């Protein structure tokens, strides 16, 4: 399991996205949210999508999950077209969306329960995932009793219990304070390695993307499109120290330059 | 979730208003103050009844009410009246709860039903439906059935409305989360909408009980062979103040007990909502 993580880019393409477009119409006005996105997602990789607000990164992720319909193009996961949510994709929302009337374990097993699995079996699987995210001993707590970071761990465990092939994460740490966010990033990398999942992670924070990703997809707005894909070379297992390295800052600067060049164009155009 | 022996934030909150800086817990302080109020009311009532008022047609001291209670209990009269009223309330509330929740859910989830019925339910909620009691007595007779009908009719509207509101206030993102796991429409109703509405439903039942007690008494005043309403009415016919106050006090305590029971039920089956209130 660990080996295929080290050289992910040589590995198989699991998801093929071709010519994906999305148009919204609001009050008769047409809005091109995404224009002809082409992207291959490689098995086992950690892929981050960054870009300014309005670049359609969240819309893109929701279409991949099957929560919103696309206007044109195709998405295939292992050769199968995606049309609706399914157990091969797990979604981690920005707000944890834990049900306040359910205990931690009952929240974690939600996906399995909805798929019709028996409670005992579902609990066993949910327990395993709660352990993985470091929440052993909190199974019977209610979400209200947990901190923001712990709630996001439950949110992650809930997506993992259905054993998806790919984990779609929509700015899951955006609402956390800076210190908790950094701790959660490191935790997420550990969980990613242990669970052996492919991750598509949306964020608007460049350093977060560089720290987490094998590849960073830089998106641009109006219309939402892929501007560039930056491969992050990682010499060793990522640690907090990596954030102090020169390579890290070079990658962050490269991505920032791409995003800012568009901001400048925008300002000139207006 | 405040199990016995476990300290809640409320328990350890200090009495900041105490002049003597005492360290008693908030719970004890509330209990002590309630008992003080009740003693003042009871003593005041007794003294006013004994010395403050000449005309015993309007008022009875507590001691006379107690005597009246004792006599009516010994004769077995009181139990029969309490039992009749209690059954009317119980059956009426059961029907109102079952129908109210079912119809409330239907209004919330079906647009056609909602647009047909919602304005009418709102209008009927605002109508003093108790005024229809004489017609129901005529239709269903002096027995228990007519009062059950009155209680049902008066209590069902707050339950319908609260169920509908409870379901429709469910966070959109909770529903989306279920759909992200490919939930069916029925699963969303059963696992998201209904549980999320429980605190509202219980609040609706609580409103319904309060109205239901009024329904029992008013219904009985218009015509009944048994019940606390008719007990009070008959005492009024003979200008006997003590049994009238006895009946009123029993209704008052019954209302308090039922409200308390529902609050306790809510804490048990909807503890997450209880937390929300605790934090304020």
B196, A114: Cβ pair inside 8 Å? no
Instruction: Please identify which residue in the block is written with the tokens 């995932």.
Output: A129
Per-residue pLDDT band for B6 (boundaries 50, 70, 90) equals: very low
A142 interfacial to chain B (CB closer than 8 Å): yes
Q: How many Å apart are CA A83 and CA A68, to the nearest integer?
A: 9
Tokens of A10: 């040589």
The Cα-based distances of B129 to B101, B126, B215 in angstroms read 19, 8, 9
- The total number of structural domains that make up chain B: 2
Judge if B42 and B149 occupy the same domain: no
Q: Establish if B183 belongs to a structural domain.
A: yes
Q: How many Å apart are CA A218 and CA A260, to the nearest integer?
A: 11
The Cα-based distances of B251 to A222, B43, B209 in angstroms read 68, 21, 12
A111 interfacial to chain B (CB closer than 8 Å): yes
The predicted model gives B143-166 an average pLDDT of: 93
Beta bridge partners of A50: A218
Q: Establish if B71 belongs to a structural domain.
A: no
- Give the per-residue pLDDT at B100: 96
Query: Which of B179, B180, B200 is the best residue to mutate to test the A interface, defined by the most A CB atoms within 10 Å of its own CB?
Result: B180
A116 interfacial to chain B (CB closer than 8 Å): no
Lowest mean pLDDT among A109-113, A151-155, B12-16, B103-107: B12-16
The predicted model gives A131-157 an average pLDDT of: 89
User: In this structure, are residues B204 and B100 in contact, taking their beta carbons and an 8 Å threshold?
Assistant: yes
Residue of chain B minimizing CA distance to A99: B174
Residues 6+ apart with CB under 8 A from A176: A148, A149, A152, A184
SS3 state of residue B23: coil
Q: Tens digits of per-residue pLDDT, B227-277?
A: 898 899 888 888 888 889 999 999 999 999 998 898 888 888 887 776 555
Judge if B221 and B114 occupy the same domain: yes
Phi/psi of residue A15, nearest 5 degrees: -130, 130
Q: Please provide the DSSP assignment of B20-38 as one string.
A: T----BHHHHHHHHHHHHH
Which range of residues forms the domain containing residue B222? 78-278
Task: Give chain B positions within 8 Å (CB) of A172.
Answer: none
Q: Is the pLDDT of residue B279 over 80?
A: no
Which among A101, A111, A115 is the nearest to B272, CB-wise? Answer: A101
Estimate the crossing angle of helix B228-237 against helix B77-109, to 10 degrees: 130
What is the residue extent of each domain of chain A?
3-88+166-175+188-269, 95-163
B275, A142: Cβ pair inside 8 Å? yes
- CATH superfamily ID and name for A3-88+166-175+188-269: P-loop containing nucleotide triphosphate hydrolases (3.40.50.300)
Judge if B43 and B151 occupy the same domain: no
| DSSP strand pairing (A198-202 vs A215-220) | unpaired
Judge if B117 and B247 occupy the same domain: yes
Q: Is the pLDDT of residue B13 over 50?
A: no
Q: Decide: residue A165, CB within 10 A, 0-12 exposed, 13-18 middle, 19+ buried.
A: middle
Judge if B83 and B178 occupy the same domain: yes
Q: How many Å apart are CA A74 and CA A90, to the nearest integer?
A: 19
Give the CATH number, domain containing residue B235.
Answer: 1.10.3720.10
Q: Tens digits of per-residue pLDDT, A27-67?
A: 778 888 888 888 889 888 899 999 888 788 888 899 999 88
Q: Considering B52, B70, B87, which residue would you say is the last residue of a domain? A: B52
A85, B179: Cβ pair inside 8 Å? yes
ipTM of this complex:
0.84
User: In this structure, are residues A66 and A82 in contact, taking their beta carbons and an 8 Å threshold?
Assistant: yes
């Amino acid at each position: 399991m660990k080996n295929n993580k080290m050289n992910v880019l040589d590995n198989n393409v699991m998801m093929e996205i071709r010519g994906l477009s999305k148009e919204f119409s609001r009050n008769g006005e047409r809005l091109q949210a995404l224009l002809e996105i082409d992207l291959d997602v490689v098995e086992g990789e950690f892929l981050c999508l960054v870009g300014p607000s309005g670049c359609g990164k969240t819309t893109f992720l929701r279409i991949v999950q099957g929560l919103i319909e696309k206007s044109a193009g195709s998405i295939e996961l292992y050769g199968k077209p995606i049309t609706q949510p399914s157990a091969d994709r797990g979604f981690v929302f920005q707000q944890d969306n834990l049900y306040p009337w359910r205990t931690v374990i009952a929240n974690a097993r939600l996906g399995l329960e909805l798929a019709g699995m028996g409670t005992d079996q579902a609990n066993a699987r949910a327990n395993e995932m709660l352990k993985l995210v470091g929440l052993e001993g909190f199974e019977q707590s209610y979400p209200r009793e947990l901190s923001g970071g712990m709630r996001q761990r439950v949110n992650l465990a809930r997506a993992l219990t259905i054993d998806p092939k790919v984990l779609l994460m929509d700015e899951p740490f955006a609402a956390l304070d800076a210190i908790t966010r950094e701790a959660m990033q490191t935790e997420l990398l550990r969980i990613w390695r242990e669970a052996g999942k492919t991750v598509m992670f949306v964020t608007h924070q460049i350093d977060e993307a560089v720290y987490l990703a094998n590849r960073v997809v830089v998106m641009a707005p109006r219309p939402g499109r892929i501007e560039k894909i930056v491969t992050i070379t990682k010499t060793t297992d990522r640690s907090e120290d990596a954030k102090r390295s020169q390579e890290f800052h070079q990658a962050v600067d490269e991505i920032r330059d791409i995003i800012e060049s568009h901001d400048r164009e925008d300002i000139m155009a207006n | 979730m405040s199990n016995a022996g476990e300290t809640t934030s409320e328990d350890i909150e200090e009495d900041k208003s105490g002049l003597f800086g005492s360290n008693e817990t908030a719970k004890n302080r509330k209990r002590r103050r309630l008992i003080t109020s009740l003693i003042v009311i009871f003593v005041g009532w007794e003294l006013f009844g004994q010395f403050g008022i000449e005309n015993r047609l309007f008022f009875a001291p507590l001691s006379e009410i107690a005597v009246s209670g004792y006599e009516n209990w010994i004769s077995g009269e009181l139990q029969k009246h309490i039992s009749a009223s209690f059954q009317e309330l119980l059956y009426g509330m059961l029907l109102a709860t079952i129908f109210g929740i079912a119809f409330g859910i239907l209004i919330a989830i079906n647009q056609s039903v909602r647009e047909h019925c919602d304005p009418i339910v709102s209008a009927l909620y605002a109508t003093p439906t108790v005024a229809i009691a004489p017609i129901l007595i005529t239709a269903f007779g002096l027995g228990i059935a007519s009062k059950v009908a009155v209680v049902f009719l008066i209590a069902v509207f707050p339950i319908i409305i609260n169920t509908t509101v409870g379901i429709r206030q469910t966070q959109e993102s909770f529903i989306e989360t279920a759909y992200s796991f490919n939930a069916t429409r029925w699963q969303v109703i059963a696992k998201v909408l209904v549980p999320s509405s429980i605190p509202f439903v219980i609040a609706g039942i609580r409103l319904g009980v309060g109205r239901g007690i009024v329904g029992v008494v008013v219904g009985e005043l218009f015509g009944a062979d048994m019940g606390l309403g008719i007990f009070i009415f008959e005492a009024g016919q003979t200008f006997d103040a003590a049994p009238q106050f006895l009946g009123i006090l029993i209704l008052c305590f019954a209302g308090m007990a039922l409200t308390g029971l529902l609050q306790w039920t809510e804490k048990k089956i909807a503890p997450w909502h209880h937390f929300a209130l605790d934090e304020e």
